[in-house]
Amino acid sequence: MITASIVGGSGYTGGELLRLLLGHPEVEVRQVTSERFAGKFVHKAHPNLRKATTLKFAALDELKAADVLFLALPHGHAMDRIEELASLAERVVDLSADFRLRNPEDYPRWYGREHPTPDWLARFVYGVPELYRTKLINAHYA
């Protein structure tokens, strides 16, 4: 059984990811974070999950270790906290564009800001299996 947590689970992407993970027979969802909904049931933000889970949102500072950590934060947020977040899981999957590009000089042009942790860019594999299938197989950061 793989343990997984979702950081930023109150938005659309986090909710859809949670729905998929809850239905996976080999995954146990350990935590879902949301600062706005901390302490409230997940179904407050995702009514479609009312009977699927009794999980409550946790605050980010309550996040515990898991096998895989999914980052469903708004663009620009994961790059500011990657050191802290990566220390909580062997594998990290970022659903934003924070680690999508290899060249840090491209971030101001495309995303309107400098990348604060450019040394992390080379560690991530862009998660498009049609392009990077062999690299994704053993990737720890995608």
39: which residues sit within 8 A by CB, 6+ positions away?
56, 57, 58, 59
For position 132, what pLDDT does the model report?
Answer: 94
The vertex-82 CA angle with 102 and 65, nearest 5°, equals 130
d(CA 57, CA 41): 6
For position 118, what pLDDT does the model report?
Answer: 96
The pTM is what? 0.94
Q: Can you list the residues of the chain whose pLDDT is less than 50?
A: none
